[in-house]
Amino acid sequence: MTTAPAHLLIGHRGAAGVAPENTVAAFEVARSSGAQFFELDVQLSADGVPFAFHDPTPARTTNAAEVFPGRENDPVTSFTWAELQRLDTGSSFSGAFRGERIPHFDDAVEVARDAIGVFIEIKSPVTSPGIEHIIVERLRSDPRWQRLVRDGRIEVLGFDAASNQRFAVLAPEVPLQQLVYRVPDAETLARISTYAGQVGSNHRWLNVAAVDRVRAAGLGMSVYTVNAERNFNRMVALGVDRITTDFPVEFSRKHPATVGHAVAVR
């Protein structure tokens, strides 16, 4: 069992400040950044393939308007995996990433290997029915995912409490995080503590009283998405456990003693 740094650093959507979000390129930046984890969003294609993508439609981050005119605002989950692979998801960020493709879920573990852990956000489970079962199947059947789970380097998270509870029943061995916009009241936190070990809140509204409520419920405190130095310092002062940022390289270099460089394992 290794000693975890005081604050775990998580690369948001890989390293979304310096590479196209939810791409292999972003995951690779995060892997070499000194962060302990990177986060990705997972949805299901129309034919049931898990893939890394944040938005409900492909309009913002891909060239879907060119490849599939008139479908760019359709649900991204209405596209088959083969169709998704025809899209360029790098050029909208920078011409240097032209040709970057939407990753398969398993591309994340191929990048991570033994160098970094992975936060798996189940995105919009209503539009990806059965996604919890599929993620559990991948975590249990692929030796690469199995190794990360065994070493305590996987956490599943999401805003949808019902989805998180389904996942908790399916895979009680995998740590869970309930995402919220603001830290809720003590009664709600008590319910969350029955299936999750962490609460992840927007950093903007976090204060001492909110952190105290989370601690009183026996939960860990995570925050997203911290990109300014003053906000990072405020989160450190509040004593949060995890800090998610679009710029893991920058914060890892600026605060090596605060975030450490070893991956935490159970």
Output the DSSP codes for 168-230.
HHH-TTS-EEEE-SS---HHHHHHHTTT-SEEEEEGGG--HHHHHHHHHTT-EEEEE---SHH
Return d(Cα 93, Cα 196) in angstroms, integer: 34
Return d(Cα 171, Cα 83) in angstroms, integer: 31
Instruction: Please tell me the total number of residues recorded for the chain in this structure.
Output: 266
Q: Which of 12, 104, 203, 255 is catalytic?
A: 12
Q: Which of 7, 54, 203, 255 is catalytic?
A: 54
Q: Tokens for 19, please give them.
A: 């590479």
Return d(Cα 193, Cα 218) in angstroms, integer: 7
12 assigned to active site: yes
54 assigned to active site: yes
Catalytic residues: 12, 54
